Structure 1
Amino acid sequence: MSEECSTNSELLPIVIGSAEQGSGYSFSPQSLKGATFHQALAHQERGYTSGGRDTRRGQRLHKTLPLHLRYLSSPIIFLDHHNNHLTHFPLEEVRDKPDIVGVVGSAHDFVRANGHSDYKSIPYHRVETFVEAKATRKDGRAQAASYAWQHLQARPDHPGVYCLSVKPETYQVLWSDPSGVVASPHTSWKELQLLAAFLYSLYMPPLSHFVRDRSIVWTEPPGQVFGPPRWTITSQGVKYRDCSILFNGKAWGNRTTVFSSPATESSGFAIIKESYTDNASRFQEADILQHIHSDGLMPGVVRLVDSENVQVDEQAIGTSARCDATRRTKTRLIMGSRGTRLENARSIADLLKAIYDALEVHRNVAIGHDILNRTSGEGVDHSRCILIDWDNAMMLDEDQYLGCKDLAHRMVTRAAPAKMLGSRSNARTFKGMPELTGEALTRYVEAHGYTRYEAYNGLSSRPPSLFSQYYVISTLEDLLMNNIHPELQTLRTQLRDIYGAMSSYEPSIAKPPILDSSIDLSGDVNEDAHNRQESVQGLRALRDSVRRDLDVLEKFLADPACASLPALSTNAPYLISVWNEVLHASPPVTTIWRTFFQNDLQSSPRRRGFRKPSGVKVDVIAEGGKRWIRVNTTKNSRMLAEFREIDSYLTGSEEESPEEEDHPSLAQTEFDNSLLRIGRSLLSAADRNPVPGTSIAPSITLRLTRLDPSPPDQKDHDPRIAKTICELQKMGIDVELGERDAPPAMPPMRSPARGLEPTRHVNLDLSILIALVSDITHSPLPKSAEEADARFTPSIQQREWKQKRLEETNRSFDDNRTSDEGLWKHSRALANQALQEMGKGLLQELHDRLAQVSPDGLRGIEFWTTAEARDRCLRIVLSKIGGPNEKRRAEALFPSSDTPSAVVEEAYWRGSRYPQGFLPLLPIRILPSSVPGEEVEPPVVSDDGRSLSPFFKVLARTCRAILSQEIIPHPRTAVDEKEKLAGSSGSANGNERQVEDDDEEIERAAVTKASPRLTAHTVKSLLWGATQGWTTLTANKASVKAILRHMRSAEGGYGWDNDEDAAAQLSWDDHTIEKATLWVVDPRSLAEGMRSEVGH
């Protein structure tokens, strides 16, 4: 992305100060030891220091500076902006978050309205420079270069931009313009000359670096500070006001920007195109357009009003970043035609007319003006095309041969077809325009007249002598397809089609019955979040492989020398065959590209130095796991070579002497080959991996795409090929020969509409128990986002208490800083939870959902949990984490048996914003054991008589499989012990780790060996809910994602596919109501002790 070179000679030194305070830091020429001579000289002559006589002298000199050095009237201030993204990027959504931004003005202009020590999201047009800061040794140069790219796209008034990349040991200065980006060497913080030069150059850059174009300036809408910018462009003394950006090109290269200017009293409507053109280009777009319109306006070609090379102080704006890059100059074209984009045509008829007219215009321009343009029309105006892009057009010279290399460059094509077009007989040869007949001709003549029809068909006038007949140039793609590696061209076209089709592929796989009531910060409910997950495991990997092979083919065919190279070896035939199997396989397709290992090695953790053995690969798993499909692209020639090798061992065995007969021999004792070994390995893997939930082995299909037992050429024939196929069939394998035909386009299958509702018995995991006692759930809601932030801003007492605890345990400075950052991070998380509660309260959500299944006053609603979840909840809340009210609610959730129910109800609802008895929470019932017995299976119907999804069975089976493996301590436990012994603090993470340095430290929950993201108590809670046929309520989104990922890996789906009987019991109409297996809500943490009004 960037190259590293010395840029010290391209930067000028600086003296930086505050214009408001009249003081600052001064760098004398002596302090610039090591700087170049012209740097020190410029420092002395320009005399910019802070305050007093030197400042007045500098102000006098400022008036004599070139225009682009007199741009800034205020100092640049640097603001911490890492929490907010920059706004108002033109045309599309870009959410860059530079760590530090340099803006012009006072810091007070950017402070948030509530005085919070953070800044508003600053718009791009207010930014002059930026800094990417890394707290580690990681290099931030690439990130800074990326920000520079976006900056140049958002700031057409900045030809180039300086930025800074810093880390603890060193810093780097970067300069970026349309020629690319360069960076200085990594410079130690002990050497500040380069940093001074960077700051100085922001105000007074060297003459070869253009940081500002004063002919274009931004304005904000009246009364809208930080509003979306409009641009005022001055060209040849004419001001075009209120311009908006229509198109933004790549920042490095031509860097084309197109503006639209409305008509005003001083200037008419205009389209303004700015670009940085190649200085070595033989043809300029303005010259091309002037030539086209030299005999009067040419219909269908954009009209040129004016053009210029943009200058600053009589110096043309150019590029200078990279000495090895193309030199470019900024040009500006004022055009007086406009239209809409071609894809916005009002009808198919309009589209076809525009394309037809584009061919006519292109033909007439090429015939009448000897101009060949590679660009087709990009707009339609009243069903008339306008060709607007002529920067890659070229003028044809009758007496000069068109160079192959030049034409290939301008036409963005290969050498062979470019050479064909460049020859006199081809470049000036056109195919005749198709003639209209019948009703089409009648309607055209009625609309436009016969004279126009004759003119456009070349009948009314004689063509120029250099043309023998009117023709339209054949497409370069056709020429390429017919002349260079046609087999690779075909494969490339197929891969392109496949890659596009994969994006819209919608398999018929049932979605998991998960009721998601979580709310993101935009206020939207994530009801379909889990349904948006990739439903076919391995589809993304196949798509990535297609993309890689397609890129390789594109690169190979783009090489002008590929015509003389042998055909590229590619994996495309195999990828195409796999995709065809996916499309033809009996639904549902559950997995693509799965490898089965002996002893279930795919679920074992990888160990260092452990080499995973090769497994058995299955390309497509279909019919819900009942059918395995393997694609093999072995050719006859490959099998013949293998047979010849086998025959060589047989021949050698016959020639052995009697003395050698006892020695081991490589000769076969029975018929075997690589395909038979593949068949046996597939059958063995199928026996070890029955269809999930059954003891039946999957059926095997072996697709041999390029093997022919009866080839037309006898040299490719061997009877052992047919024998191999027969042996595979005897094993019980379905053998299919040849490629499948591409299936016809099918409309995407629409899953039946369904509604999800909870069961009357609700199973609660630990995260919900915490949420039920949280202060966020019960306290009055904040009235605004600012109030939510202020509610959980760490108070001085809290920070002092934190500092005191660190000092008592002899913690280091880094521990102090980390702890302080963790405190602020936790406060922001609590504020976000308060905002989510403002969207819809947790208890209100439970009440509304459960009222739908029990409209008679929530009768019959029961809440259950495990004993382990109860015990951990009480340990967490009753420690120092919970506040007084939170502790009271926790004790009320799980009271002693002799406590009256009225006392319990009052204790729980006291101080809540909800009335007493709002939900029948109490008492929460405790499940009888840690896990249900092996004999306990999910019921067929729910507690209110509705059929249950087979997902309950799959979830129960998955949880049991996970728990059958080893339960291990949390990975952080060992780290915590080391830190405790070393006298350092562990990080607080979530409700289960909010206590720090407590005498009775809460032990981390044990996790499952199958997935460290899944705690054992969470899996047990999910197992109980599944086996009882109850909805499990959770706020642990990470665990839900982990269990679904494990389920897809182990089961290949979510249950509908393998349980036909259960699926048939449901009435799949357009109003299916299904019981939710899981119910996901947003978390609510223990927050009472973190409120800003609560001290320690």
Structure 2
Amino acid sequence: MTIDNEVSIPDAVDQDAIVNGLLSKCERLISEVDSFQSLVKQTMRNPQLVEVRQMRSNLVSEIRALEKLQGQIESSTPALLHDPSEEGDDDDDDDESQLRLAHGLRSSNLPFYETVWTVAKTSCTGLVAFWKRFYWDDGESALKQDGDERSQGKRQGKNKRKSVLVDIVADGGEEWVKVSTVPESRLLFEIAEKGWEVDTDASSDGEQGEGSASQRVILRNYDSNDEGQDHESDDDDEIELIKLAAGMRKAANATRVRYRHPRIRFVLPKIEEGKVAEIDHMLEVIRRYDITVVCGNNMPSAMRAPLEETALPGPDNDSHQEQDLSDLLPTPYKSFTPTLNVDCTLLLAMVSDLSHFKHIPPLPNHHLAIKRQIDAEKQKPLLPLELWPAVRGHELVCTEEAAKRFREIVQTIGTETEKERTEIMMGAFRFQNADPETLFQKYQELSDHSVPQDWKLPIRVVEAKTVISSALTHGKLPPVAHLLAETISHINQSVFFYGWVTGITTISSNRTVVKQIETVVEGHRGSDDALEGPHVWICDTARSLVGKEKDRKK
């Protein structure tokens, strides 16, 4: 018996043992997925940004299908044990039943799910989602920032024929991985069935020495009357993997994450490169779409070893070992510059009593937003889980405009402890001559949380107006910057343009302004594929000052 999706199984292996082995693998995979989901919930303020539910749902469906198949095998066991010397009309029915059971085993999707999970956990970082659909539309570009895939949504009314299903979205959305477990034999059959052959072009532009490669291998379809054209419609004569590569490239070209198109990687564990000319040239065609192709014989050992462990589905052959899944967690800080430019919104969060005191009794004069933030802090405190991991070890600066607005707000509605933290954090007034260690200790005294030792104080105030004006005058920023300067406020211009001019990361919770900047940049990109706006990290939430009056607007 042969299970095409996975391996060849010796005839002597009992079907019930095979199903039990597949069930064991499926349960183990679910356990690993559950462990990763728990890790996400423990380490992320917003675990919904990592979509693993589709993988788990598929595995649960597979378990149900295998359990149903197991029941069919058990119910057919008495018939399989009858005396073969007895003649009867039931033999044909028994054979048909066996064929159905064999087909059920061959049709199991578990080997594919296991391969996708293995590829993810051994070669990906910053997981975003499994099996996410991306669309392309003529003249339309879908922009995503900071790995935010939520804006893709269900895309109501979109043409599914103009879309691809990406198996693994990783690296915060910047990498798409497509896994195909198609075996070499099936691929060669498809090549032959669709009329594709290998030609050799003996022409050469230069003189070739004896023994040199003077022939160029060309994979072509002799039945195609429009060879060399870019096929926009479904072409029944096209090889499926090549159609898939073309679709992935179109969807990637219509999508931007942090102003860049996602990278694409194909993983083909059952294909060997350098063995068959037709397959090698098909791989070359795929690579022409700017796609990285990884075949079974050039897989990294870390990826190949777990896949080789699946050679037999029986539980006795499962040598699985627990693996650290932390590399799969999002890595939002990996591209941070050594110096970070802090927006006013996060300066407020860094001094707010809401961020530092674990127990703040709600008062009648508290605005509803304050009450919501008190509840949110009890569940997932902002500083330990998001802000400090982002800024620790980095030099911190803020523009004069941001610092001025920040101090005005604190002086107007801040509590005494919020005002004290402001002076410490900015090294102002009586702390202006204090050394970093003293500032750290004073800051720690005003927080219920353990402040990281590499939280660098004070935050340095920088002059931004002259720097930005000079950059605009001398063309150090792209032309679209002049349009942006007319559409955003002076304070936001000082913050985001300063980071843009100096090339340092700006951190902010002002998602509205960041989205406005992205939209303007993309809307005026033209033919400049390399155009990028300021590098911004968006904190998922913000904190108000606790002194906010109840009747004050949000």
Q: Which has the larger radius of gyration?
A: 1
User: Which of structures 1 and 2 has the larger relative contact order (alpha carbons within 8 angstroms, sep 6+)?
Assistant: 2
TM-score range, shorter chain: 0.3 to 0.5
Looking at secondary structure, tell me which structure has more helix per residue: 2
After TM superposition, the score normalised by the length of structure 1 is 0.25
After TM superposition, the score normalised by the length of structure 2 is 0.44
